Amino acid sequence: MTVHEAVVKLKASLQWRCALRSGVWWAVVGLLVWGSVILVLRLVWPVSWWLHLVGGLLVVGAAVAGAIWALRNLPQEAQLSALLDAENQCGGILMSSWETCLDSWTQGVEVRRIPQVSWKKRKALALLAVSAVYVAVALLVPQRYLRPVQAESVAAEREVEKLEQQLEKLRELGLVESPRYEELQAELQQVRKNASAQEPGNTQEAIDHLEQALKQLALDALQKRAEERELLEQAREFAGVLREMMQSGQIKPNQAERVSQALEQLLQEAMNAKPGDKAEALKKWLEEHGNDGLFTEKELDDLTDLLEQWLKEQGLNWEDLAEVGLIDPEWLKRLKRLEIDPERLKNLRIELVRLIEGEGSDLDPEEFLLLLARCRGRCGSSNEGDGLPGRGGVTRGRADAELTFGKPSSPEGVQFRPEVLKPGALHNLDTLLVQVRKVKPGTEQRQESQGGALTESGGVGEGHQRQILPRHRPAVRRYFESGR
């Protein structure tokens, strides 16, 4: 084999191995980049999966570029000829023939041994497989495992969802008007949007504010419904008592007329408190039957039925509000007890009878109603009130807290420990001699004592100076140090 043939053969052997090796390595890099880009894209900006396949072109391009780069960086032919020369121990003849014309010297020179080029490809192929698996995993991993990367935020999602649920429940029960509902909805969305971790305090504050607003809405609705129901129950009992008294002849006609007028005003108050279909029906009934100012027994029967129906419809599913956390479960129990408490209705009836038979007989309807309102507070089943805010009762507020008298609390840090002072100098019982030092006799005026401050006394005009402190200073110091 001639020198040129050997060099060409060695070069070819190097070429394809270098190109293959470089292509594989560059493909590995391309695959790793591709897989990473897929993951990042799927994390921050989910796109269709087939768009990711375009990255495959990147890998192919990288492999081709790597192969081209390797081919361009192959050893020069002069180097290969030198390698052949060294391999065949030709003493420089081969490599010199590449640089200069040796003519007769190269005749008969044969290249018998060509170095073997080998590529340790195990590592490269293993990495190629790993990177391919990486790309496959990046492509095939379900999107649910790849949560979109967002700015770090406060975990306010659950709270906002709960508040939205509460708002929807209020709307469903008709306890919130449309403008207020939209306003609260907008505020909730704003909280959800601005729930950044940079100002978590603001987010929590807004959530608390909305929670309080929704609870206040529920509470207002609760009170309003309770008042409406109470008015209706009162009117119903009022009508019942009046009918019974008319039947038994316990009431005089003039008294019945004034009481009827008071009943009519009470009905007007109830209608104003709760406008609606039933209120309209009651209004129409009153227009038909209440013109003469005195209800008959039959009319009172009809009125009782009418109010009974209204009360049935007045019922509200308080449990829904309790479920979404808008009202306290304790309140729920009390509300139920309020609805079905026969004792309270009985008391109300007794109060009405007393009112009609007693003071009410000589009062005009407005004064009668004022007395009736006063008797509302007395008609409770117990001294505890009905347990609702604003309804009174001694068990509400701080006053109902139990007074316990157990072990006495430690006086440490609270009060002075008595200390018996030692007998001091007679001229100043409240001071303690701290230091006596020699000074130049002066003529300054004597300084006055400044309470617990460091004071100087004596020494004026003398050859020594005494520094004194209040005797109780250690006690004062212990007192303040105990607070730390």
Partner 1 sequence: MQAGLPTMQEVQSAVELIRRLLQELDRMLLGRAELHRLVVVALLSRGHVLLEGVPGVGKTTLIKALGQLLHLDFKRVQFTPDLMPSDILGSHILQEGPDGRRELVFRPGPIFTNLLLADEINRASPKTQSALLEAMQERQVTLLGTTRPLPEPFFVLASQNPIELEGTYPLPEAQLDRFLFKLLVAQVDEEVLEGIISTRRRGEPPSPTWTLSREDLAKLYHLMERIYLPRMVSRYIARLVSATHPHNDQAPPLVKEYVSYGSSPRGAIALAEAARAHALVCGRPTVGFEDVRAVAVPALQHRVLLTYKARLDRITPAQVVQQVLEHVRPVPLDLPEDLEVQSSGSNRREG
Cα 283 to Cα 355: distance, rounded to the nearest angstrom: 26
Q: Is residue 87 near partner 1 by the rule CB under 8 A?
A: yes
CB 187 within 8 A of CB 206: yes
From the list 412, 461, 454, the residue with the least C-alpha distance to 435 is 454
Q: Which of 32, 36, 115, 320 binds partner 1 (CB under 8 A)?
A: 115
Go through 348-375 and write b for each residue having 16 or more CB atoms within 10 A of its CB, e for each that does not.
bbebbbebbeeebeebebeebbebbeeb
Tokens standing for residue 104: 């007769």
Candidates 27-35, 110-118, 205-213, 364-372; binding stretch for partner 1 (CB under 8 A): 110-118
Tokens standing for residue 329: 């479960």
Find how far residue 156's CA is from the centre of its chain.
4
Nearer to partner 1, 37 or 102 (CB): 102
Cα 172 to Cα 317: distance, rounded to the nearest angstrom: 11
- DSSP alpha helices (H): ranges in 329-422? 329-340, 342-357, 365-376
Nearer to partner 1, 19 or 156 (CB): 19
From the list 285, 265, 272, the residue with the least C-alpha distance to 363 is 265
> CA-based Rg of the chain, rounded to a whole angstrom?
50
CB of 27 to partner 1, least distance (A): 15
Q: Which of 26, 30, 85, 241 binds partner 1 (CB under 8 A)?
A: 85
Q: Which of 48, 104, 291, 435 binds partner 1 (CB under 8 A)?
A: 104
Q: Is residue 120 near partner 1 by the rule CB under 8 A?
A: yes
CB of 157 to partner 1, least distance (A): 52
From the list 198, 201, 202, the residue with the least C-alpha distance to 190 is 202
Show contacts with partner 1 in window 255-284 (CB under 8 A).
Answer: none
Helix (H, G, I), strand (E, B) or coil at 466: strand
CB-based contacts of 210, cutoff 8 Å, min separation 6:
163, 184, 187, 188, 191
Nearer to partner 1, 100 or 248 (CB): 100
Nearer to partner 1, 96 or 449 (CB): 96
Length of the chain: 484
Q: Is residue 101 near partner 1 by the rule CB under 8 A?
A: yes
Nearer to partner 1, 82 or 239 (CB): 82
Q: What mask, x for binding partner 1 by CB under 8 A, covers residues 13 to 52?
A: -x--xx--x-------------------------------
CB of 85 to partner 1, least distance (A): 6
Q: Is residue 291 near partner 1 by the rule CB under 8 A?
A: no
Nearer to partner 1, 104 or 415 (CB): 104
Tokens standing for residue 178: 């449309």
Q: Which of 48, 50, 72, 100 binds partner 1 (CB under 8 A)?
A: 100
CB 307 within 8 A of CB 279: no
Q: Which of 32, 37, 86, 146 binds partner 1 (CB under 8 A)?
A: 86
CB 218 within 8 A of CB 321: yes
Q: Is residue 75 near partner 1 by the rule CB under 8 A?
A: yes
Candidates 73-81, 344-352, 427-435, 469-477; binding stretch for partner 1 (CB under 8 A): 73-81
User: Residue 418 — left, alpha, or beta (φ > 0 → left; ψ -120 to 50 → alpha)?
Assistant: beta
Q: Which of 3, 7, 67, 95 binds partner 1 (CB under 8 A)?
A: 95
Q: Which of 7, 27, 63, 82 binds partner 1 (CB under 8 A)?
A: 82
Candidates 86-94, 319-327, 453-461, 468-476; binding stretch for partner 1 (CB under 8 A): 86-94
Contacts with partner 1 by CB under 8 A lie at: 14, 17-18, 21, 75, 78-79, 82-83, 85-87, 89-93, 95-96, 99-105, 113-121, 123-124
